[in-house]
Structure 1
Amino acid sequence: MSDQTANLEQVMPEAKTAFGDQRGIGILVPLAILVGWELCGQFGLLPRYIVAPSKIIATWWEMLSSGELIGHVGSSMFRQSLGLLFGASCGTIIGVLAGMFGPIGRFYEPLVSLIYPVPKVAILPLIFAWFGLGDLSKIVVMTISIFFPTYIAAYHGAKSVNKIHLWTAQNVGAGKARLIRQVVIPSALPDIFNGLRIGLALSFVLMVTTELVVSTKGLGYVIARAEENLRFDRMYAAILTIAILGFCADRLLLKIREYFLVGQLMSKDRGHG
């Protein structure tokens, strides 16, 4: 036993050193790319449609300081937030119910299998015809698209709940509502959050896509107009803003996930230990 402990103590520093080296390489590579990109821009070696990072940052700060960027961010995030809220709520609720109750699952499964592979952007002309060219049509597209990954995640999460937990709760007199609230949803939360994370990323993609097609405000609108006017610095500034917003939203969702799953994550860590 002591020999095994000694061997582990010898291996662990080496593993930590290797991990540290990999993390350092992971930082150095993009940093080197940025430096090379900037140098090429300073020496005029870049094509017109590729702008040096310093120019992008300067334009981004100018748009932010003038308040122009804030207005476009507000419009985009309004649509994205409502689309995510409606799509994720409907997908999660119906997915859990479909996983719990056979008739609901048998009704939705063929529909999901049929409609899910169809790109929702392909039906944009129909949605514009039905709901107009304003915010509502864009929110509808996001709602429909986000519904599917959140539904599938919640459905499989509910289906994979340990039957022993369900039988135990039923034996102590738990009704259907209490069973879903206290057993099914807590057990399915890891899968539900996986679906929410996919839906979150998808909401940003669709936010930009719908604004590129028809819009008078928003980050997608900025990208489209900047490309038309050959203002590639403004285009990259808008893309940078989308990346920052998406990163912050994803980190926030992970923090919320960690808060709700703290017990499961701790037990998993103890199991690995």
Structure 2
Amino acid sequence: MRGPQRSEAPRQSRGAPRYPYRLLPLWFFLVTLALWQIASRLDHPDFVLSPVEIASHFTQALRSGELLPHVGASLVRSLPGFVIGSLIGVALGLMAGIARSLDQLLSPVVFLTYPVPKIVFLPIVMLWVGIGDVSKTLIIALACFYPCFINAYYGARGTPTLMVWTGLNMGARRSQIFRKVVVPSALPLVFAGLRVSLALSFILLFSTEMINARSGLGFLIRQSESSLRFDLMYVAIVAVAMLGYASDQLLLLVRRHVLAWQEATSR
């Protein structure tokens, strides 16, 4: 005699295609552009351009070579700052999360200075290293340090104690526990900190370029606005958005590769 059969509805609903939901952001973006284009045909100030006009000016700026030098200048400042600040923040955060002496030394200073806007340190840094690209890179590195340190710190402290003691009882050295238990356990929070730091690197980049720079997308936005070149201003803003989105998607791709085990268990 056969027992009661389980319903297949939950399994089917669980495996139902999610493509319509994944397309919702794209549809929202397209509808927003369409409404913007329609609204631009009404009476509007000269500094309000339609999406079609912005796309046309963007293509012209690429062909004329007016945009790419500023993109390169911004990347030269932001990428080293992001890499330096993130690496130092992650390394010190992980070590402070497992070493009480380092925790007592660093954590009070980090959490005390974390709420301070990092742009206020720019005049001090410029007095030390000058007004060139080094000062901008250092400010970006300082801003990227904090989210990475804090997330790595709490990621290391959140390592399950049972896993640590199990490794020690099996004869693993402390360095092996750190590499094979603490670091993998902290990686999800580490990548969350990296995403925040990546966004901050762009924010600080354009803040510093608007204050004191002769190249870069922030400089281009400020110069275009002051010279009433609103077409070029919008082109620079679109370039900022595209760089930020591409960088974030690249980081998410790395995260999916590194944390493939987490993606598999969460399905």
TM-score (structure 2 length as normaliser) = 0.91
CA distance in 2, matches of 1:20, 1:187: 31
For residue 99 of structure 2, what is the aligned residue in structure 1? Answer: 101
TM-fit CA distance, 1:49: 2.0
Matching residue's letter, 1:138: K
Q: Provide the alpha-carbon RMSD of the alignment.
A: 2.2
CA distance in 2, matches of 1:229, 1:250: 32
Q: Identify if the C-alpha distance between structure 1 residues 49 and 268 changes in structure 2 by more than 3 Å, giving closer, same or farther.
A: same
TM-fit CA distance, 1:223: 0.4
Matching residue's letter, 1:120: K
TM-fit CA distance, 1:29: 3.8
For residue 5 of structure 1, what is the aligned residue in structure 2? Answer: 7
**Structure 1 residue runs of 4 or more that deviate by more than 4 Å after TM superposition:** 1-4, 9-13, 19-26
For residue 47 of structure 1, what is the aligned residue in structure 2? Answer: 45
For residue 205 of structure 1, what is the aligned residue in structure 2? Answer: 203
CA distance in 2, matches of 1:236, 1:149: 30
CA distance in 2, matches of 1:260, 1:24: 26
Matching residue's letter, 1:160: G
Question: Which of the two has greater helix per residue?
Answer: 1
3-state SS, counterpart of residue 7 of structure 2: helix
1:110-145 per-position Cα deviation (integer Å, ceiling 9, x unaligned): 101210000111222222222211100001101111
For residue 247 of structure 2, what is the aligned residue in structure 1? Answer: 249
1:191-237 per-position Cα deviation (integer Å, ceiling 9, x unaligned): 11111111111111111111111001111111010010111111111
Alignment of 1:108-187 (within 5 A): 108-187=106-185
TM-fit CA distance, 1:22: 5.7
CA distance in 2, matches of 1:139, 1:248: 20
TM-fit CA distance, 1:39: 3.1
TM-fit CA distance, 1:87: 0.4
Q: Identify if the C-alpha distance between structure 1 residues 195 and 24 changes in structure 2 by more than 3 Å, giving closer, same or farther.
A: closer
Alignment of 1:251-266 (within 5 A): 251-266=249-264
TM-fit CA distance, 1:20: 6.3
For residue 57 of structure 1, what is the aligned residue in structure 2? Answer: 55
For residue 219 of structure 2, what is the aligned residue in structure 1? Answer: 221
CA distance in 1, matches of 2:4, 2:19: 27
For residue 32 of structure 1, what is the aligned residue in structure 2? Answer: 31
CA distance in 2, matches of 1:152, 1:141: 18
Matched, 1:72 2:70: yes
Matching residue's letter, 1:54: V
Matching residue's letter, 2:30: L
TM-fit CA distance, 1:156: 0.5
TM-fit CA distance, 1:3: 7.3
CA distance in 1, matches of 2:22, 2:9: 25
Matching residue's letter, 1:165: M
TM-fit CA distance, 1:8: 3.5
CA distance in 2, matches of 1:52, 1:81: 32
CA distance in 1, matches of 2:27, 2:196: 29
TM-fit CA distance, 1:67: 2.1
TM-fit CA distance, 1:35: 2.0
3-state SS, counterpart of residue 140 of structure 1: helix
Q: Identify if the C-alpha distance between structure 1 residues 230 and 83 changes in structure 2 by more than 3 Å, giving closer, same or farther.
A: same
CA distance in 2, matches of 1:31, 1:59: 19
TM-score (structure 1 length as normaliser) = 0.89
CA distance in 2, matches of 1:65, 1:116: 43
CA distance in 1, matches of 2:11, 2:167: 45
Deviates more, 1:108-117 or 1:64-73: 64-73
3-state SS, counterpart of residue 202 of structure 2: helix
TM-fit CA distance, 1:107: 1.0
What runs of 5+ residues in structure 2 fail to find an aligned partner? none
Q: Identify if the C-alpha distance between structure 1 residues 30 and 180 changes in structure 2 by more than 3 Å, giving closer, same or farther.
A: same
